[in-house]
Amino acid sequence: MANRQILERSRLAYPRLERNEPCWCGCGKKYKKCHMEFDERIIAFERQGHIVPTRDLLKTAEDIEGIKKSAVINMTVLDEVAAVIHAGMTTQEIDDLVYSVTTKMGGIPADLNYQGYPKSVCTSIDDVVCHGIPSDKTILKEGDIVNVDCSTILNGYVSDSSRMFMIGEVSDEKRKLVEVTRECMLKGLEQVIPWHFMGDMGAAVNAHAKANGYSVVREIGGHGCGNAFHEEPFVSYVSAPGTEMLMVPGMVFTIEPMVNMGTNRVYEDEDDGWTIRTRDGLPSAQWEIEVLVTETGHEVLCS
């Protein structure tokens, strides 16, 4: 990108404030005492050709508090699912539970009616990578692995996380996939360091998956989250170190690698337009957390 284009983008993303004006973050301090050096540091990275977050992606203290309150509901819902999930349960029963607990606690299931999605949660079994639609015809059976992906809106703030469940006795191969996928997520979390790059995180996830003989889905990844269900940036888990968006304090996004036992190739079910499956029919696993970049590292807001 030419220097003139970079400067123009910087002016749009970080409108100039005078030193003694109130800071844009709403803290009440003067700009020079709050985010002036912060903004200048981001612009310096952009001038070097790096991708940087726009100001609207950075969460204020009020935003973070709102996301945390939403996350209380989201994590409670997943705890409730964990307490009752079993062989013989339909995925519709999981959906009913998610809707009931979420609404009783004052929240709204973010999935419900999102771009036409018909249910309150995603339930993805075995070779279903993500976006599995709950149904009273889909019954969990002994040996299944299932991802339950839950998202909650409370007072306009969004939380998002998912967990894997192993139904009864599962094969050693499936158990290892579930465990390694969680390790991949945690390897990525270790790389959430302010003023480093999202590619560092993606590379760590991919390296651990490959070291265990697995592949990581390329087309679907994580996303910014908090003030809306899906925000920028797209979060890749097959990226190279030193690439992708700069991570700065105030960013909130999900870490949710989808790790396949076989090929990383996937396809969308033509019948429902949502369900994503592995091309080779082998199992897939996913864990998801919602993470805040802090001044000193990171904080998991929802898990």
Here the CATH number for the domain that contains residue 248 is: 3.90.230.10
pLDDT at 6: 44
pLDDT at 229: 97
Q: Taking the model in full, what pTM does it have? A: 0.92
3-state SS, one letter per residue, for 186-227: HHHHHCCCCCCEHHHHHHHHHHHHHHCCCEECCCCCEEECCC
Any residues with CB less than 8 A from the CB of 36 and at least 6 apart, and which?
17, 19, 23
Q: Name residue, tokens 């003694």.
A: 20
Q: Could you tell me if residue 49 is inside a domain?
A: no
Q: Could you tell me if residue 93 is inside a domain?
A: yes
Q: Could you tell me if residue 167 is inside a domain?
A: yes
pLDDT at 199: 98
Which own/partner pairs from 215-219 qualify as long-range (CB within 8 Å, at least 24 positions apart)?
Answer: 215/259, 215/260, 215/262, 215/263, 215/264, 216/184, 216/257, 216/258, 216/259, 216/260, 216/264, 217/129, 217/257, 217/258, 217/259, 217/260, 217/264, 217/266, 217/284, 218/264, 219/266
Q: Could you tell me if residue 100 is inside a domain?
A: yes
pLDDT at 92: 98
Domain housing 179:
61-302
Q: Could you tell me if residue 34 is inside a domain?
A: no
pLDDT at 27: 83
CA 65 to each of CA 59, 91, 111, 209, 226: distance values in angstroms, whole numbers, following the listed order: 10, 32, 22, 34, 10
Cβ(244)–Cβ(199) below 8 Å? yes
Domain count, the chain: 1
Q: What is the full per-residue pLDDT of the chain (303 aa) written as tens digits?
A: 444 454 455 555 667 778 888 888 878 888 888 888 888 899 899 999 999 999 999 999 999 999 999 999 999 999 999 999 999 999 999 999 999 999 999 999 999 999 999 999 999 999 999 999 999 999 999 999 999 999 999 999 999 999 999 999 999 999 999 999 999 999 999 999 999 999 999 999 999 999 999 999 999 999 999 999 999 999 999 999 999 999 999 999 999 999 999 999 999 999 999 999 999 999 999 999 999 999 999 999 999
Residue 288 backbone phi and psi in degrees, to 5: -135, 135
Q: Could you tell me if residue 119 is inside a domain?
A: yes
| Preceding omega of 134 cis (within 30 degrees of 0) | no
pLDDT at 30: 87
